[in-house]
Amino acid sequence: MFDNLSDRLGGVFDRLKGRGALKEQDVRDAMREVRVALLEADVALPVARRFIDAVTEKAVGQDVLKSVTPGQQVVKIVHDELVDMLGGPETEGLILEAKPPVVIMMVGLQGSGKTTTTAKLAKLIKEKHGKKAMMASLDVNRPAAQEQLAVLGEQVETATLPIVAGQQPVDIARRAMEAARLQNFDVLLLDTAGRLHVDEALMAEMKAVSSVSEPTEVLLVVDSLTGQDAVNVAQSFGGEVPLTGVVLTRMDGDARGGAALSMRAVTGKPIKFAGTGEKLDAIEAFRAGSVADRILGMGDVVSLVEKAAATIKEEDAELLAKRMSQGQFDLNDLRMQLQQMQNMGGLGMLAGMMPGMKKAKAAMAAADMDDKVLLHMDAIIGSMTAKERANPALMNAKRKRRVAAGSGTEVPQVNKVLKMHQEMGRAMKQIKKMGGLKGLASMFGGGGGPGGMMGGLPGMGGSAGGPGGLPGLGGPGGGSGGPGVDPNTLPPELRDMLNKK
């Protein structure tokens, strides 16, 4: 998702940032390229035009052009405008505070993901909001559609309205309301039938269902892969039923992303959720800031922090932090960090989310480097004796050959691991001088977040000021709009790792 757009914009902005001074014409030329990139990504024309006008107006201001870093400022303006276009920095959740049963009605074209999203939301409502939900399928068009929802209901442990063969949507909706009221459900989710195209019959059905159930939320489910067409669909639905929000599904796919970018502007309704996979927990609150960061190659720090917090055991992190502060970081600790990296989805996943790591990721791909490196490093450390792991200085030439043979690697790879450990030890001393991990944490704009900071690759703490991972890799990219990290500032050992096999 957004990869092409991101690459194109990266090129434009690299050129802008590469210059000391900018003239108005430079900005206008760059904006022309941005406009083409947006259109190629399938952003609706009026949306792209409005976007470019807004950015240009702000960017050609004297303050920007005369500033010390005009290129950076323009990128910042683009970033903020992107966030705006996507609905602003706030996330908008479900409205559940109404007289129960609160009705959530799902609408959208055939196959857009309504039924799956209904089940995902039911799970979320139960687990995150602690409310009792019931689901009902009003899909009498597709055979077995109602059974599909019943099966999903079992998977997410949520009640579904018993199926009555032959009953029509409006009657099912009435029965569902009644059942939800009698059984004291807080929330009722109505999954409706899809159609191939927006047609009168569909719209009449949606309106009828909506008038008997008086939904608090009417969520339009849109498949991000449908591109320009999604915009037309959204417009037609928006004109007929009182939409309250949008859910974009298949954000995990390789869509060009334009539909996602246009949706807010076209419907005027907030994008509330993003579907990110087929599994029933693959749904996220839609965060405009994260998406803008990702498009501009700033990485998705918030997601990364959340992922780190979910993956890394707090005790591990605390233990490591303690050992590091006492200067006891040994190969066992390095190994733990490597394993955490693996748990978090490996190098590729991390690189894709790290600020400014797009280039590093490309370098990795070019060098054909993959997660095998992590496994190899783990095998190397695993082939050492406990003594050697605690005191790597014991590794002499003979032992290195043994360890290489034992781990199915070569001596240079063993050396690399040892060198990496050394580098990290040195970096940690530096960090100590710079005011310790807490000081570093604040550099990343973390501190308050669940992971506290992004010190580099793995090992971000479960607690604020936790251990710093491979230090030096981060850089002041945390806050939204901050500049990305120059891969040239990576620790040499890691840079080598990324550049070579």
Ligand X SMILES: Nc1nc2c(ncn2[C@@H]2O[C@H](COP(=O)(O)OP(=O)(O)OP(=O)(O)O)[C@@H](O)[C@H]2O)c(=O)[nH]1
Q: Site residues (CB under 6 A) for ligand X?
A: 108, 110-116, 139, 142, 145, 194, 249-250, 252-253, 275-278, 282
Choice between 149 and 296, CB closer to ligand X: 149
Choice between 148 and 499, CB closer to Mg ion: 148
**DSSP character for 111?**
T
CB 323 within 8 A of CB 307: no
- Look at residue 84 and give the partner it binds from Mg ion, ligand X, none, a contact being a CB closer than 5 to 8 Å depending on partner kind: none
Provide the minimum distance between the beta carbon of 172 and Mg ion in the complex, in angstroms, as a whole number.
Answer: 14
Choice between 152 and 309, CB closer to Mg ion: 152
Provide the minimum distance between the beta carbon of 88 and ligand X in the complex, in angstroms, as a whole number.
Answer: 23
Give the angle 253-258-262 at the CA atoms, nearest 5°: 125
Q: How many residues bind Mg ion (CB under 5 A)?
A: 2
Choice between 277 and 436, CB closer to ligand X: 277
Choice between 48 and 233, CB closer to ligand X: 233
- Look at residue 110 and give the partner it binds from Mg ion, ligand X, none, a contact being a CB closer than 5 to 8 Å depending on partner kind: ligand X
CB burial of residue 179 (10 Å; 0-12, 13-18, 19+): middle
Among 56, 112, 115, 249, binds Mg ion (CB under 5 A): 115
CB 40 within 8 A of CB 48: no
DSSP H or E segment with residue 247: strand 245-249
Tokens representing 70?
Answer: 């005009």
Provide the minimum distance between the beta carbon of 121 and ligand X in the complex, in angstroms, as a whole number.
Answer: 12
Provide the minimum distance between the beta carbon of 116 and Mg ion in the complex, in angstroms, as a whole number.
Answer: 8
The candidate with the shortest Cα–Cα distance to 104, out of 126, 128, 136, 127, is 136
Choice between 115 and 407, CB closer to ligand X: 115
CB 249 within 8 A of CB 115: no
- Look at residue 252 and give the partner it binds from Mg ion, ligand X, none, a contact being a CB closer than 5 to 8 Å depending on partner kind: ligand X
- Look at residue 311 and give the partner it binds from ligand X, Mg ion, none, a contact being a CB closer than 5 to 8 Å depending on partner kind: none
Choice between 98 and 282, CB closer to ligand X: 282
- Look at residue 112 and give the partner it binds from ligand X, Mg ion, none, a contact being a CB closer than 5 to 8 Å depending on partner kind: ligand X
**Helices 492-499, 358-366: inter-axial angle, 10-degree rounding:** 50
Provide the minimum distance between the beta carbon of 328 and Mg ion in the complex, in angstroms, as a whole number.
Answer: 56
The candidate with the shortest Cα–Cα distance to 27, out of 74, 67, 69, 63, is 74
The candidate with the shortest Cα–Cα distance to 340, out of 212, 440, 455, 251, is 455
Stretch that binds Mg ion, among 37-45, 56-64, 108-116, 443-451 (CB under 5 A): 108-116
Choice between 275 and 477, CB closer to ligand X: 275
Rounded to whole angstroms, how far apart are CA atoms 468 and 489? 16
Provide the minimum distance between the beta carbon of 106 and Mg ion in the complex, in angstroms, as a whole number.
Answer: 8
Tokens representing 396?
Answer: 């002499």
DSSP 72-110: HHHHHHHHHHHHHHTT-SS-------SSSSEEEEEE-ST
DSSP 139-203: --SSTTHHHHHHHHHHHTT-EEPPP-TT--HHHHHHHHHHHHHHTT-SEEEEE----SS--HHHH
Choice between 251 and 494, CB closer to ligand X: 251
Choice between 2 and 444, CB closer to ligand X: 2
Stretch that binds Mg ion, among 2-10, 107-115, 253-261, 411-419 (CB under 5 A): 107-115
In the numeric block, the tokens 């998977």 are attached to 155
Provide the minimum distance between the beta carbon of 208 and ligand X in the complex, in angstroms, as a whole number.
Answer: 18
- Look at residue 265 and give the partner it binds from Mg ion, ligand X, none, a contact being a CB closer than 5 to 8 Å depending on partner kind: none
Those residues whose C-beta lies under 8 Å from the C-beta of residue 158, and which sit 6 or more positions away, are: 119, 122, 123, 126, 133, 134, 135
The residue of the chain with the least Cβ separation from Mg ion equals: 115
Stretch that binds Mg ion, among 51-59, 112-120, 213-221, 226-234 (CB under 5 A): 112-120
In the numeric block, the tokens 């005369």 are attached to 66
Provide the minimum distance between the beta carbon of 167 and ligand X in the complex, in angstroms, as a whole number.
Answer: 17
CB 263 within 8 A of CB 246: yes
Provide the minimum distance between the beta carbon of 468 and ligand X in the complex, in angstroms, as a whole number.
Answer: 34
CB 302 within 8 A of CB 451: no
Provide the minimum distance between the beta carbon of 238 and ligand X in the complex, in angstroms, as a whole number.
Answer: 18
CB 175 within 8 A of CB 161: yes
- Look at residue 205 and give the partner it binds from ligand X, Mg ion, none, a contact being a CB closer than 5 to 8 Å depending on partner kind: none
Residue 118 within binding range of Mg ion, rule CB under 5 A = no
Return residues touching Mg ion (CB under 5 A). Answer: 114-115
